[in-house]
């Protein structure tokens, strides 16, 4: 079969009804998405909460390891669980291309396919169209593009993104949004906002029509670095009463200070009774700043990507294990860290990378994910005790010590 036709089968076709539903056991687990705030910090906008899904509860603030193609790179499911993660992220764009959502549905959904028993959030593919796809044409109908895998011509609409995620069976599904690079012109930002709102309206209607009561749906706020545009987009999305709201289109070229400013504007408008998700961010210090402004959920490839490249996170800042200063260092990455990497010396870990042994990236991936989850756990405890501002200052001082 020609590549173009094959690609259309994967992303462009309409699934038959029996493909969208998975096993009877899966359907019996369906339940509503529930979120509530348990505690608020007295000096910041940080809040501790919990959301419940058909596959269990997640404590917030929460960090989601990125399992783009049904795996978190370099670590298996028991390893991810051992880090303390309660939810992972999968991706509509990648999974629809390979192996195809119809195949995953035959396995009973993404949870069964990858062996992950806890909640899963699936991104809609908007960012991947922005960052990976070739020869993209975006209009109000959707996005037409060529696959980054084989060049096949593909089509992704708001309705199609809903359909794919219904087949995947994720607990939280994201709407398709229009992402633009920063900086962009005011005209480009306005066009992206209007299209994002149009697509959100269509995605919400398609979600209701799909009748997947187990699956929550989040809207995504766009608007570049224009505070007024961000506020307008947030307010207009509230009309669709999504189960949660994400802040997208950041960490794509702006400075940290610009990102923090936009976060303040968005969280001031987004409803306090719904979870707030900052997409694709970021460094540990970015996470704590966002938590201080009332953000509840995060995802980012940095802990796994940097782990594969010999960079480990710690309370004293990043540790670059390829540096010669670690060659004879017999101390662990972090005293008291329970991850498998910290059962070894820095000297041994450095040796693994210098010898191109695959165990090095595996161990540092486990360490970085453990570090991020510990950061979230400690942040939740600080919020509960209403000392988050002090916790934030101390962490920042440690990271800036060098």
- Answer whether the bond into residue 282 is a cis peptide, omega within 30°: yes
Alpha carbons 315 and 358: distance in angstroms, whole number: 25
Q: What is the DSSP string of 348-394?
A: HHHHHHHTT-THHHHHHHHHHHHHHHHHHHHHHHHHHTT-HHHHHHH
Name the DSSP letter for residue 84: T
Structure tokens at 128: 């991947």
Phi, psi of 332 (to 5 degrees): -75, 170
Q: Residues 162, 86: contact at Cβ < 8 Å?
A: no
Q: Residues 148, 132: contact at Cβ < 8 Å?
A: yes
Phi, psi of 8 (to 5 degrees): -60, -35
Alpha carbons 290 and 288: distance in angstroms, whole number: 5
Q: Where are the beta strands (DSSP E) in 165-222?
A: 172-174, 216-221
The C-alpha angle with vertex 291 and arms to 288 and 294, in degrees rounded to 5, equals 160
Alpha carbons 26 and 31: distance in angstroms, whole number: 11
Structure tokens at 9: 């089968």
Alpha carbons 302 and 292: distance in angstroms, whole number: 21
CA distances from 103 to 74, 220, 377 (A): 23, 28, 36
Burial class (CB in 10 A: 0-12, 13-18, 19+), 273: exposed
The C-alpha angle with vertex 158 and arms to 152 and 163, in degrees rounded to 5, equals 80
The C-alpha angle with vertex 293 and arms to 290 and 294, in degrees rounded to 5, equals 95
Q: Residues 55, 397: contact at Cβ < 8 Å?
A: no
Q: Which residues participate in catalysis according to the annotation?
A: 123, 299
């Amino acid at each position: 079969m020609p590549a173009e036709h094959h690609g259309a089968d994967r992303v462009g076709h309409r699934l038959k009804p029996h493909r969208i539903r998975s096993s009877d056991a899966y359907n019996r687990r369906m339940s509503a998405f529930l979120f509530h705030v348990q505690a608020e910090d007295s000096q910041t906008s940080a809040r501790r909460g919990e959301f419940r899904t058909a596959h269990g509860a997640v404590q917030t603030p929460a960090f989601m390891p990125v399992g783009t193609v049904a795996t978190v790179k370099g670590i298996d499911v028991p390893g991810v669980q051992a880090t303390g993660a309660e939810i992972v992220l999968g991706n509509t764009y990648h999974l629809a291309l390979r192996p195809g959502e119809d195949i995953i549905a035959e396995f009973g959904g993404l949870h069964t396919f990858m062996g992950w028993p806890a909640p899963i959030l699936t991104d809609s593919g908007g960012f991947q169209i922005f960052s990976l796809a070739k020869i993209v044409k975006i209009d109000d109908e959707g996005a037409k593009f060529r696959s980054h895998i084989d060049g096949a011509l593909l089509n992704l609409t708001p309705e199609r993104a809903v359909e794919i995620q219904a087949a995947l069976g994720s607990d939280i599904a994201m709407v398709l949004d229009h992402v633009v690079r920063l900086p962009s012109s005011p005209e480009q930002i306005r066009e992206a906002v209007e299209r994002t709102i149009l697509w959100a309206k269509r995605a919400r209607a398609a979600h209701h029509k799909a009748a997947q009561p187990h699956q929550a749906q989040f809207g995504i706020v766009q608007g570049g670095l224009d505070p007024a545009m961000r506020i307008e987009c947030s307010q207009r999305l509230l009309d669709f009463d999504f189960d949660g709201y994400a802040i997208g289109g950041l960490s794509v070229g702006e400075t940290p200070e610009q990102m923090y400013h936009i976060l303040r504007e968005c969280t001031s408008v987004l409803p306090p009774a719904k979870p707030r998700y900052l997409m694709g961010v970021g460094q540990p210090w970015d996470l704590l700043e966002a938590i201080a402004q009332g953000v509840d959920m995060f995802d980012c490839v940095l802990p796994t990507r940097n782990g594969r490249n010999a960079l480990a996170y710690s309370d004293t800042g990043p540790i670059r294990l390829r540096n010669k200063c670690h060659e004879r260092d017999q101390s662990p990455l972090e005293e008291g860290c329970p991850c498998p990497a910290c059962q070894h010396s820095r000297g041994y870990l450095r040796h693994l990378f210098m010898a191109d042994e695959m165990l090095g990236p595996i161990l540092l991936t486990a360490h970085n994910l453990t570090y991020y989850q510990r950061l979230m756990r400690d942040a939740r405890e600080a919020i509960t005790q209403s000392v988050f501002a002090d916790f934030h200052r101390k962490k920042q001082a440690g990271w800036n010590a060098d």
